[in-house]
Amino acid sequence: MDTARGSSPATPSPPGPPRTRSGAAPSAGTKGVPRARREEQILAAAVEEFGRHGHAAASMASIARRVGVTKPLLYTYFGSKDGLYLACLEHIAHRLVTAVEAAMTPDPQGLGPAASHVPPRVLAAVFDVLEEQREAWFVLYDRTLKPGSDLHAAAHAHRAAIDGLAASGTADVLRGQGNEDPLDADALKHVWTGTVGALVGWWISHPEQSAPEMTARCARLLAAIRAPH
C-alpha cells in the first residue's frame, strides 16, 4: 500500500494517447506524457506540498499521489527529496525575483517610480506571480528548515536576491529619516518580507480573492497604516 492505485489521477487522462486494451488500467508502461510536462506537473504539486507543510513534513508519496504517479518516477526525474525541493526553490525564486525587479525598476525614461508607489507595485507583482500557487511563497520562506543544513543554506541563497531588493527599498525609508543603523535596516527588511508573507497567508485562507483584489486591499491598508491616528 505504497502509492497511487486504481482510480483516475488528478489530471484526467489526456484525450488521445496510449490506453491499454482495457478501459483504463493503472498498469505500468508509458502514459504518453513527455518528461518535460511531467516535470512541470510534479514541480507544481511539490511546491504546493512543500509550501503547505514545510520540507520535513511533506512526503514524496503524497506529492506523487497528487500528480497521479508513483514515487519512483519522482526519483528518476529529480533524484531525491532534496533535489525536488531544490528544483522548487529555483523555480519560484526565479519567477519572484524577475517580477519584483521589474516592479521596482520600471519606466525606461526617467528614474524609478516615486518611493511611496513602490510597495503597492511590488505587492501587485508578487500576487500576480503567486495567483495560481500561493503556497509557493512559503517554500522560499520556510522557517522549519534546520539551521546549518544544506537546504537551509540553499533557501537562504535563493532568498538573497529578493531580500536584497527589499533591503534597498527599506533602507531608503530609514535613510530618509536620518536613521543609519544597519540593524534597524535589517530588521525592517525582515518585517517587510514578513508582512508580504502574512498577506499571502491571509490570501491562502481566502481563495476567492483575486490578485487584483488583493492589490487594491493592500493599497487601502497601507494608506490606513500611514495615516495619522
**Which of residues 69 and 155 has its CB atom nearest to DNA in the complex?**
69
Q: Establish if 53 lies at the interface with a copy of itself (CB under 8 A).
A: yes
Residue 72 binds: one of DNA, a copy of itself, none (C-beta under 5 to 8 A by kind): DNA
Alpha carbons 25 and 173: distance in angstroms, whole number? 61
- Could you tell which of a copy of itself, DNA, none binds residue 130, using a CB distance below 5 to 8 A set by kind? none
> In the window 75-104, what residues touch DNA (CB under 7 A)?
75-76, 79-82
Residue with cell 519606466: 107
- Reading the block at residue 212, the C-alpha cell is 487584483
Q: Would you give the DSSP letter of residue 55? A: T
Cα(11)–Cα(104) distance, integer angstroms? 37
Distance CA(112)–CA(104), nearest Å, equals 7
Is residue 15 near DNA by the rule CB under 7 A? no
Neighbour tally for 109: CB within 10 Å? 4
Compute how many residues bind DNA; rule: CB under 7 A. Answer: 38
What's the min distance (Å) between Cβ of 52 and a copy of itself?
Answer: 8
- For DNA, the closer CB: 87 or 118: 87
- For 11, 22, 71, the CA distances from 4, given in Å and listed in that order, are 13, 19, 9
Which of 37, 43, 38 lies closest to 69 in space, CA to CA? Answer: 38
Q: Which of these segments, 65-73, 93-101, 154-162, 182-190, binds DNA (CB under 7 A)?
A: 65-73
Q: Does 172 bind DNA (CB under 7 A)?
A: no
In angstroms, the CA 206 to CA 186 distance is 30
Residue 61 binds to DNA (criterion: CB under 7 A): yes
Pick the closer one to a copy of itself by CB: 154 or 173.
173
Q: Which residues bind DNA (CB under 7 A)?
A: 2-5, 17-21, 25-35, 38, 58-62, 68-73, 75-76, 79-82
